[in-house]
Amino acid sequence: MIWLSCVVLVGAQWGDEGKGKVTDFLAEKAAVVVRFQGGNNAGHTVVVGSEEFKLHLLPSGILYPGKSCVIGNGVVIDPPVLLKELTDLAGRLPNAGTLYISPRAHLILPYHRLLDRLEEERRAGAKKIGTTARGIGPAYTDKIRRTGIRVVDILDREEFAATLADILAEKNELLAKVYGVEPLDFNAIMEEYLAYGEKLRPYVADPGQLVTAALDQGQNVLFEGAQGTLLDIDHGTYPYVTSSNPTAAGACLGAGIGPTRIDRVIGVSKAYTTRVGSGPFPTELSDDMGEHLRHAGGEFGTTTGRPRRCGWLDTVALRYAVRVNGLHSLAVVKLDVLTGIPKLRIGVAYHYRNEVLTEFSASLKVLADCRVEYEEMPGWHEDITGVRDIGQLPANAKRYLERVTELTGVAVSLVGVGSSRAQTLLADPAIFA
Ligand code: IMP
């Protein structure tokens, strides 16, 4: 495989597309792997040999010895979660990659986790977002409000004490007066986070500098997106979204490099669609087929264990993902989950009132009430999990992938037929030339 030096990998749907597996596959060729947004709301499952690794904050590249793995400024870090992940990994994989953390990355504090839960409880019925309750939204809110605390801030006792005193006074007032809960203790948070600061200090480095130096030396850099395009705070199904930018442009902002450095953008999509949490999902299946996909695909959240909502592939949404990310190609994973389904369906347009919509709508009402127009395609029954060359796929599986390309306008560059590294097929090596 020939590589361009800087590749951004993003989720093309509502997250959980299996980016961890594709990242892990591509990471082999990269010297540096960078996470640029989100936090421990993400969950990547990567299978190495017979071992399964579940990562929430660490970039998937950490599983390779010798890689530099970067947590960029756009990520929100929950320090105890990150430290536990590092300790667990050290116990199982002594020669893991080297971690660097941006001093500008914002931190999740105890009041963020608490407020995430309290705010969600306060939202009535259908207004609930179904957050992961990890404090992600409140931490990003503070970042934008300019009341956040960054990694660099917990490296200095005096600075941290002064900042935390102001912020905690306000948070405690909010907790007591709006939510009627006990205030949080200043000294406890202060000492806890200073101790985290000391443990994180050896990893702190400027990711923009590191990535730029790697690119200047002709090394390969892989940006690993978390969540997905339709959960993007700007481009997703707002307000049923996460609070960061999982789209490709987020890689620049969240790591401190310019857009001119990026060579290629790849979107990961399942061969069907899933979503966790609330919000519209036009091709959702609430019948036996939805249940079949959930069980065949093991569609239960890595982070929360919640069952995922399942549906047919939606190429209206995928075309939108191609556009907002500037995708060069798609990695279509979990193709094996469709094996044995006699007739497959692909969503090709939405019908709303008397209109035919071929563009993904900004209106949640349209997305919730539209009728999806499907194309039907014959399925295949052969087991494809042992296929190692795209040319050996059954004719109907190849036809399915070709149709995805025709409907989205981009090539399928990678195909996943199972969870292990070997079950990732490179459709067209020239894609990386
Ligand atoms: P938050 O990111 O915890 O605030 O959750 C906001 C929305 O994004 C909810 O619908 C979550 O289920 C969804 N979400 C957040 N992270 C992920 C992820 O990694 N995969 C899929 N959905 C996610």
251, 341: one domain: yes
Q: Which residues of 101-126 are buried (b: 16+ CB within 10 A; e: fewer)?
A: bbbbbbbbbbbbbbbbebbbeeeeee
43, 191: one domain: no
102 pLDDT more than 90: yes
* 143: in domain: yes
* 290: in domain: yes
433 pLDDT more than 50: no
Ligand 1 pocket test target in 108, 131, 273 with most atoms within 8 Å of CB = 131
Domain count, the chain: 2
343, 388: one domain: yes
Q: Average pLDDT of 123-128?
A: 88
76, 110: one domain: no
Q: Which two tokens stand for residue 307?
A: 């069952």
pLDDT of residue 45: 76
432 pLDDT more than 80: no
* 267: in domain: yes
Number of alpha carbons in the 13 Å side-chain half-sphere of residue 209 = 8
Q: Which ligand 1 atom minimizes the distance to the CA of 277?
A: 10
pLDDT one-digit tens code per residue, 338-386: 999 999 999 999 999 999 999 999 999 999 999 999 999 999 999 999 9
What CATH number should be reported for the domain holding residue 133? 1.10.300.10
Ligand 1 pocket test target in 21, 227, 238, 299 with most atoms within 8 Å of CB = 227
* 138: in domain: yes
To the query of whether residue 44 is one of the catalytic residues in this protein, the response is: yes
Question: Mean of the per-residue pLDDT values for the chain?
Answer: 94
To the query of whether residue 369 is one of the catalytic residues in this protein, the response is: no
Which of 170, 202, 234 is the last residue in one of the domains? 202
Which range marks the domain in which residue 182 is found?
Answer: 106-202
180 pLDDT more than 60: yes
| Residue type, position 387, single letter | V
In this structure, is the dihedral angle defined by the CA atoms of residues 249, 250, 251 and 255, taken in order, positive or negative?
Answer: positive
| CA–CA separation, 417 and 433 (whole Å) | 23
Q: Using H for helix, E for strand and C for coil, what is the string for 376-408?
A: EEECCCCCCCCCCCHHHCCHHHHHHHHHHHHHH
293, 389: one domain: yes
Query: Higher confidence at residue 44 or residue 135?
Result: 135
* 1: in domain: no
428 pLDDT more than 80: no
Query: Higher confidence at residue 320 or residue 125?
Result: 320
Which of 153, 181, 202 is the last residue in one of the domains? 202
418, 287: one domain: yes
Distance 20 CA to ligand 1 centre (A): 16
* 399: in domain: yes
Q: Average pLDDT of 256-264?
A: 95
Which of 202, 236, 258 is the last residue in one of the domains? 202
Apex 82 CA angle, 81 and 85, nearest 5: 85
Catalytic residue among 24, 44, 232, 336: 44
pLDDT one-digit tens code per residue, 157-169: 999 999 999 999 9
77 pLDDT more than 50: yes
252 with 37: CB under 8 angstroms? no
Q: Verify whether ligand 1 is closer than 6 Å to residue 246 (CB atom).
A: no
Distance 131 CA to ligand 1 centre (A): 6
pLDDT one-digit tens code per residue, 275-287: 998 999 999 999 9
* 276: in domain: yes
362, 279: one domain: yes
pLDDT bucket at 50, cuts 50 / 70 / 90: confident
pLDDT of residue 2: 53
- CB-based burial of residue 286 (10 Å sphere; 0-12 exposed, 13-18 middle, 19+ buried)? exposed
Q: Average pLDDT of 81-100?
A: 91
233, 319: one domain: yes
| CA–CA separation, 197 and 430 (whole Å) | 45
Distance 134 CA to ligand 1 centre (A): 10
Q: Verify whether ligand 1 is closer than 6 Å to residue 283 (CB atom).
A: no
pLDDT of residue 140: 98
What CATH number should be reported for the domain holding residue 91? 3.90.170.10
110, 252: one domain: no
161, 310: one domain: no
Q: Taking the complete model, does pTM exceed 0.85, yes or no?
A: yes
112, 40: one domain: no
* 388: in domain: yes
117, 72: one domain: no
Percent of the chain with pLDDT over 90: 84
